[in-house]
Chain A
């Protein structure tokens, strides 16, 4: 994988650190380079974030790193959860975190994405460069459409596989802002390669709006790809 040189070095360093400290969080005073995002402190219900984040963090310490967040149609909630979890992970430990979404210009990602610095990464064996944006050297945002461009029209290309592997391999933690079920069903071949790389799936359930059958539908869809449902995250915000 050939990324921007600076990014490459940083990624390698962070990757090394993360491996060293995989099973024991370092004391906060040691993390001198650690930049705690301001969004972590903008969260009003920290106790909820601690509860949710801790669950994911425990999974991470068990070796899981690719977390998919889906919902019954509430993209905004998906982004809030991803941003919150990313902030939590960043708050707990200095990790390289990637957020892959098909709607970076919308909702709560919008502000961060707009403030991000854009880079182009040349992946080995790939003809095109992959565009990514970095926010405060904390999160790297990937536009899903940029990754999907590497996929063929009817079948998955080797280049596409390489891109996905490179992205996953070069980060400690990845949060996937999962596309709608209809979108994935319309391009099953393309999404199959992505889905198979998910370590766990969590579904956001909007209280009073999400239906059990919708949740069951998403669950069944991912279960067909061997992805187990980690659990549900309740969203009590009114749409």
Chain B
């Protein structure tokens, strides 16, 4: 309970800590207040004195891609490729990249003055020479590289500067020459490794594009596409040919029909002439009748020809209407004349002449009728064939249309491949290291003032901590306040009297 009361007495509602009491405790346990700072300062001075002397050198480098100064990215822009930008994290992570460090170790191992370098870490107490370090490897490269790999990453660091895209490579070793050499080798490797990295990215893109092209070729089935294309051309030619044939056939049928109609009229006329015993007085009317009949025949022929064409223009339709009107007029005139043929004189003689003609006409009529029938049948058959070819042509065209996007994609891929190959052949580094100077800074890892500041802070902390602990566990009574803490129900009557001697 007394400890709880003691702890509570250390706290204050307003100032959190009861500073007057803490001050009193510091005076009471003055040995802690003296011993801790003395020890802390002693330890700090000791650790400062045993630190190694460090040789630090550094060089800056820039990420050209951030300022659009990278030649690679300029070319990438030209060929329509995306720019390859390096992130700050990637630059800073180089130091911890195992592959990067392995390359560095290999480069260092191949240096002629390898054994004169000092690979001891900055905090090393027991230094060992490179000879001893690599002794176990007995000039085995793999083993030596592995051993160097254990030391090298701790000797350099990459830090970002305040300016975006600016970095600083810092090398700290225990020997001046080693610092300079490692700085030079790391700087070179940063540039080289970046080129390899960029090339690797572009090569991977090339590889992926080639793979896509190959796959696309398989998907499209080039042979099939060629066949379809040829078939489409063939079908188109065939359809054209058939259409031409049909056009000729149609023309022929029309002509034959016209001729057939003429023959049919002639035959009708012959038949009528036979029955006419016409008088001379009616010859004139008869001649008029023949003329009108001829005009009607012409009109019908023209109408027949015009109406055969199903897709008539407006003008043609007007002509047809006009012809039909004229035909009606002529027919009404014929009707008014009546049967004038009977009144024609000399009908017998006329009939004899007409009989001989009629025989020939009948024969032509029959031949023509058969011819028209055959042509019509041929026309229908050809039309049927044309329909089939047109269906097939539409199907082939649809298939080729379906293939069109794939072929477009393939074209794009091929263009992309060319761009990437161009880019790959022109890659340069985008991490550009400044000129390496001859600056070297000699110092210790931490300054004495830092140690003293640390000693002061830690002393304050430990003095406070130990004083509080000592107070909490201290059973001794030092003052009336302690009496109140230990014995809540007891009071201090006073102090003992002092007698003068």
Contacts and interface: CB of A to CB of B under 8 A. Distances in A.
Contacts of A7: none
Contact of A215 (B478, B486, B493, B497): B486
A208 B499 CA distance: 21
A216 B489 CA distance: 12
B491 interface: yes
A42 B477 contact: no
B477 A52 contact: no
Contact of A231 (B477, B478, B490, B499): B490
29 contacts: A42-B499, A42-B500, A43-B497, A43-B499, A44-B499, A45-B498, A48-B496, A48-B498, A49-B497, A51-B493, A55-B493, A55-B494, A56-B493, A205-B477, A205-B483, A207-B477, A207-B479, A208-B476, A210-B477, A212-B476, A212-B487, A213-B475, A215-B477, A215-B486, A232-B487, A233-B492, A234-B495, A235-B496, A236-B496
B361 interface: no
Interface in A34-89: 39, 42-45, 48-49, 51-52, 55-56, 77, 80-81, 83-84
Interface residues of B, number: 22
Contact of A108 (B482, B491, B499): B499
Contacts of A45: 495, 497-498
Given A48-B494, A216-B486, 12 more contacts: A39-B499, A44-B498, A44-B499, A48-B497, A52-B496, A55-B493, A80-B499, A205-B483, A212-B476, A212-B482, A215-B487, A233-B496
A210 B478 CA distance: 8
A239 interface: no
A interface, how many residues as a size bin? 35 or more
Nearest to A88: B497
A48 B486 contact: no
A232 B475 contact: no
Nearest to A236: B495
B382 interface: no
Contacts of B491: 231-232
A108 B500 CA distance: 11
Contacts of A91: none
Contacts of A83: 497, 499
A107 to B, nearest CB: 11
Given A205-B483, A211-B475, A212-B477, A81 B496 contact: yes
Contact of B492 (A42, A210, A211, A232): A232
Contacts of B493: 51-52, 55-56, 202, 230-233
B147 interface: no
Closest 6 CB pairs of A and B: A84-B497, A52-B494, A212-B486, A231-B493, A235-B496, A51-B494
A237 interface: yes
B494 A44 contact: no
Interface string A130-160: 0000000000000000000000000000000
Given A45-B497, A45-B498, A52-B494, A234 B476 contact: no
Interface in B456-501: 475-480, 482-483, 486-487, 490-500
A52 B493 CA distance: 6
Nearest to B494: A52
A114 interface: no
Contacts of A52: 493-497
B467 to A, nearest CB: 16
B496 A212 contact: no
B2 interface: yes
B491 to A, nearest CB: 5
Contacts of A231: 490-493
A209 interface: yes
Chain A CB within 10 Å — which of B482, B486, B498 has the most?
Answer: B498
Contact of B490 (A49, A56, A213, A232): A232
A216 B483 CA distance: 11
A229 interface: yes
Q: Most B CB atoms within 10 A — which of A43, A80, A202, A205?
A: A205
Contacts of B497: 43, 45, 48-49, 52, 80-81, 83-84
A95 interface: no
B499 A234 contact: no
A204 interface: yes
Interface string B66-77: 000000000000
Contact of A208 (B478, B487, B495): B478
B128 to A, nearest CB: 56
Contacts of A80: 496-499
A234 B494 contact: yes
Contacts of A108: 499
Contacts of A51: 493-495
A208 B479 CA distance: 8
Contacts of A207: 477-479
Contacts of A211: 475-477
A13 to B, nearest CB: 29
A212 B479 contact: no
A209 B483 contact: no
Nearest to B28: A208
A165 B497 CA distance: 30
A239 to B, nearest CB: 12
Contacts of A230: 493
Among B476, B477, B490, B491, the one with the most A-chain Cβ atoms within 10 Å of its Cβ is: B477
B356 to A, nearest CB: 169
A233 B478 CA distance: 12
A230 B492 CA distance: 9
A232 B496 contact: no
Contact of A209 (B2, B476, B479, B480): B476
Contacts of B480: 234
Nearest to B482: A212
Nearest to B492: A232
A179 B486 CA distance: 24
Given A232-B483, A234-B480, A212 B495 contact: no
A43 B499 CA distance: 4
Nearest to A76: B496
B477 A233 contact: no
Nearest to A203: B490
Nearest to A71: B496
A70 B308 CA distance: 151
